[in-house]
Amino acid sequence: MDIQPFTIAIPQADVDDLADRLARTRWPASLPGDGWSRGVPLEFLRELADYWATRYDWRAAEARLNALGQFTTEIDGQRIHFTHVRSERPDALALLITHGYPSSFVEFTALIEHLRRDFHVVAPSVPGFGFSTPVRATGWAMGRTARAWAELMRRLGYDRYGTHGGDIGAGLAGEVASVDGAHVVGVHVVTDPLTAANTATFLPGLADGLDPADPTDRLILDRMDRFRREGSGYLAIQNSRPQTIGYLLNDSPVGQLGWIAEKFEEWTDLPYDRDQLLTNVSLYWFTGSGVTAAGFLYEQTHAMGWTPPAAVPHGFAVFGADPTVRRVINPSADTYWAEYPRGLHFPAMEAPEVLAADLRTFFGKVSAS
């Protein structure tokens, strides 16, 4: 049950090996004028890989992450890594924030700086991601992870806390409240039109009431169809054969780079910090967590159901907002709902100031109620 301070210190031999592998990349052929229609364009990835190899500074990123405060503990036989930043305000609310895929706690570095005045921030790495490795057993899906998060907050001494996340982190924010509702004061999640449509593709019942003759519903159905045809390949592989794709992700840094960078290009509409993206990719590479992160998606696909929603306040921050999101989610009248015109799937990187302000507003309302 001990919580141990943790220092990120990747051996220099591993840093040198990455540079060597990048220099020896065997690049594939590509067809002229293809753009993104067949996947990540060759010119885009070559330029990004060259920047990673020659100008990106891992040691500077490592120092910034260590300055936040890194820790590990063992819960249910699994090593759990987390960032823990205490507010200068002793009475500040604790806030548990969880990343999604293909992301990591690195996504929250800028956001934490905007939150630390008002919240005690805890940002764990999902089992199989980053330093929450190696994964020692099967079964680490949403439910087991949520119970581990509740235990982590208990160990840290937080009797009252909020949860937040997007993507996988959104599901975990709700699951933690379901398993620890006596201590969770509110659940705040981020979403966007693409995520809402993609979620409707997989979660039973969400699309049942959609009317093809309605313009808003037609837009949702078209997005769902496009995701099935063009955007769901990565999920199909990782939900069924994570070990097979894992050989590529573990042996080729350019393979891991392309697998992640594609999603950041597709799922953002505001500029994000390229060095922050490469820190995220480097974390996957140095920890060998491409295969185990994919394995988390596999475990969730094969998990048994969801815990019933908790009766605590829920809030949604919609980025790149349009009417389709509210139509899919259909929140109750007392649900907190905020819409922002720009940003998409990674608002903690695209618009950290906006997201931080929304978190303060939602949890301010929760605390006042």
CA nearest to 127, candidates 82, 84, 80: 80
Closest to 295 in 3D by CA, of 226, 352, 238? 238
> DSSP code of 123?
E
Q: How far apart are CA 237 and CA 245, in angstroms?
A: 7
Q: 319 by DSSP, 3-state: which? A: strand
> Residue 283 has which token pair?
């974390």
**Cβ(328)–Cβ(217) below 8 Å:** no
Alpha carbon 230 to its chain centroid, in Å, reads: 21
Crossing angle, helix 274-287 and helix 12-23, to 10 degrees?
Answer: 110
Q: Do 104 and 284 form a contact (C-beta atoms < 8 A)?
A: yes
Which of 161, 164, 345, 358 is an active site residue? 345
Task: Say if CB 220 and CB 194 are below 8 A apart.
Answer: no
Pair of tokens at residue 329: 């989610």
Coil, strand or helix: which one is 364? helix
Residue 345 appears among annotated catalytic residues: yes
167: left (phi over 0), alpha (psi -120 to 50) or beta: left
Q: Which of 284, 298, 336, 340 is catalytic?
A: 298
- Classify residue 295 as exposed, middle or buried by CB count within 10 Å of its CB (0-12, 13-18, 19+): buried
Which is catalytic among the residues 81, 114, 120, 167? 167
Q: Is 164 a catalytic residue?
A: no
Reading the block at residue 334, the tokens are 């007392």
Active site residue 298: yes
Q: Which residues are catalytic?
A: 167, 298, 345
